[in-house]
Amino acid sequence: MSRTGLLALLCADAIRPNPHFINGILSRHLRPAIEVSRDPEGFAYLRASLPVDVVTSKKGSAALKLISEIIVSQGGGVRDITVGDLLLWLQMSGSRETIRILTAYELLRDLGSLPADGPPTLRRITYRSGQVHPAQLVDRYRLKCQPVRDAIVAYLLERSPAIDYGTVKSLSATLALRFWADIEHHHPGIDSLNLPTDVSAAWKARLATKIVRKRLPDGSVVEMTEPRRSAVAVKTTVRAFYLDLAQWALEEPEKWAGWVAPCPVSASELVVKKVERQRKSRMDQRTRERLPVVPMLVKAAERRLKEAQGRLRALNAASLGAEFTVSGETFAVPRTTTRVGGRPTRAWDSQGVARDFGAEERMAFWGWAAIEILRHSGIRIEELQELGHHSIISYTLPTTGQVVPLLQIAPSKTDQERLLLVTPELADVLSTVISRVRGADGKVAVIPSYDGHERVWNPPMPLLFQESNAGQGHRLSASFIRKGINKALADTGLLDNTGEPLTFQPHDFRRIFITDSILNGLPPHIAQVIAGHEHIGTTMGYAAIYPADAIEAHRAFIARRRALRPVEEYRTVTPEEWDEFLGHFERRKLALGECGRAYGTDCAHEHACVRCPVLIVHATEKPRLVEIHDNLRARIQEAEHEGWLGEIEGLQSSLTHAEEKLAQLDAQIARKQEAVNLGIPTFREIVARTAAVDASCDRE
């Protein structure tokens, strides 16, 4: 049968071929023929309800073709397609087809053809199915001994209410795979937790090392044995498993007594000081190696972004089929394109290699944004992904009305929310990101996100690290962010101590942030609050280079001071004391601006503000400062005329300081006037909400 005849039969619904047969055939003519002959109204409504850039995009076009294939195979029209049809196509298709199937699901969901209570994305019911029962976690390792398998499952069920899902998953892997599956493999027939001494000794000997495969320069692969760093952690988990069963047997003997057995791991085997010192040494070495190169990385990321944006602008300005040169490279523009507006994102270089300038600019931008936010805030990668438009808040002091920008960090690892002060540099980056993710209506799209650790879907939020693809927003993955960071780092050409290209992990910026803050005088306990650590020992573990004896001396000094000073000094602050503290900021208001002296300190210049180096002069008060300057000149002339020599020296000092402040003010105004307007909104424009908290709430 010819292709034309086959297409005619399909359009007439005379035959309904198997999905495996219809998938991929007649790729050029199937969709337009089915649209016209089978359900023109449904396709017309689908096109009319979607943005033009979605319909004409590559993924949108592939999704419409998929809808045509489902109609041909299953019958009916656009509104008759069910979730099961899409799951059937997903089951029989390869990874290349996954994107168009997910896109088709989202198009039909927005159209209203799918059930209203359906998930917002097909990922929820496919490979992101959510949490798994502890029994299923254990059964992945196919344990042969049923009593031990039941003991591990019961243990996980007992502990799961008090711990997160990630810990449950880790415990199942340790107990079922690293412990019991290994014993069953090397000692077949064992059926009790009461292990013989030789069996437990052999297991601990195997646990101490692991086999790794490395590829040599000639391409061959060799197996090598190296120490297992997690050996102590595995033994600690196994010991806790045995001891918990023994303790629970005292409380509920009818449930747990049958599994009680001597613990194969003694307390003396869990000495972790050496392991902790080795880990701390590795962390410190990694931080020392990367701390000095952060400025180079920042410059490389900025340069990479500017070059990528320049190439993309040059491509958009060039005509189809023409050549253009940017940064010394010559590129050829495609003669045709199917993109909206007729503008391609790809071009060929002089070697004939296709370059996707849109993807390069995307990678360069998000790599730069991640580097800037991580190094200025010290947050975790999970917290970076959860940053939303609502995370940027402004707090107004209840008495002075001064606006303080804050960044609200959502609970992640320790389930503790915290607030960080937004520096001007961080505010610029956040403004740029918000300008990029805002839609045509000026709003940040609200999208759902998947928590890979807890295996749950978070409610829709206006996330900052998101992108729109074929009209559907999705959160940027952690692997994409890491790739963007290391792409920028690759441009520096730096090498590590082994001669390999230097790489950064997002957590490296957290260690660098804490180390740099402590080295610059930030007290360790303040760094602990900013980092969100529960214990100051964790913060000290992050801080490399900082002398250990200085830390111990500081902590000993604090302990001695608290022992010697009256207990009343560590009581709760009273309302009067808090009002006096806030009044300090009100008393900083001066005629020329604000006084920058610290709280609780007296004026060192006897209120001669013009001479004071901590006077912050506002640009709006320049006329007043000019008036004071002119008045000082007149007074000096009068003193010289009258012979008041004692006055001249003091007046001349005030005049010198006034001239210095005028010069600083002129330079500041000049810098502001020379700034280029990039269209970045101010902090007041990007702030999502304002925290209006009164003084009593703030004290709490």
Query: Given this model, what pLDDT does residue 56 score?
Result: 67
Tell me whether strands 689-691 and 392-396 are parallel, antiparallel or unpaired.
Answer: parallel
| DSSP code, position 354 | E
E-assigned strand segments in 218-328: 221-227, 323-326
Query: Given this model, what pLDDT does residue 700 score?
Result: 39
**pTM for the whole structure:** 0.65
Query: Given this model, what pLDDT does residue 373 score?
Result: 94
Of the candidates 375, 403, 389, 472, the residue with the CA atom closest to the CA atom of residue 433 = 389
Query: Given this model, what pLDDT does residue 305 score?
Result: 93
Query: Given this model, what pLDDT does residue 391 score?
Result: 86
| Number of neighbouring beta carbons within 10 Å of residue 448 | 18
Query: Given this model, what pLDDT does residue 648 score?
Result: 80
Q: Look up residue 104 and give its amino acid.
A: A
Backbone angles phi, psi at 203, to 5 degrees: -65, -45
The SS3 assignment for 407 reads strand
pLDDT tens sequence across 565-609 = 766 666 677 788 777 777 766 677 777 777 776 666 667 666 577
Query: Given this model, what pLDDT does residue 640 score?
Result: 85
User: Nearest-5° angle of CA 334, CA 335, CA 336?
Assistant: 95
Residues 6+ apart with CB under 8 A from 358: 312, 345, 346
- Locate the domains of the chain by residue range: 3-125, 134-271, 584-678
- Report helix angle 506-519 to 478-490, nearest 10: 70
Tell me how far CA of residue 628 lies from CA of 21, 631, 692, in angstroms. 89, 5, 38
Query: Given this model, what pLDDT does residue 694 score?
Result: 42
The alpha helices in 187-272, defined as continuous H runs, are 197-207, 231-251, 253-256
Residues of the chain with pLDDT under 50: 340, 693-700
d(CA 80, CA 491): 52
The SS3 assignment for 388 reads strand
Q: Look up residue 246 and give its amino acid.
A: A
Query: Given this model, what pLDDT does residue 417 score?
Result: 72
Query: Given this model, what pLDDT does residue 353 score?
Result: 87
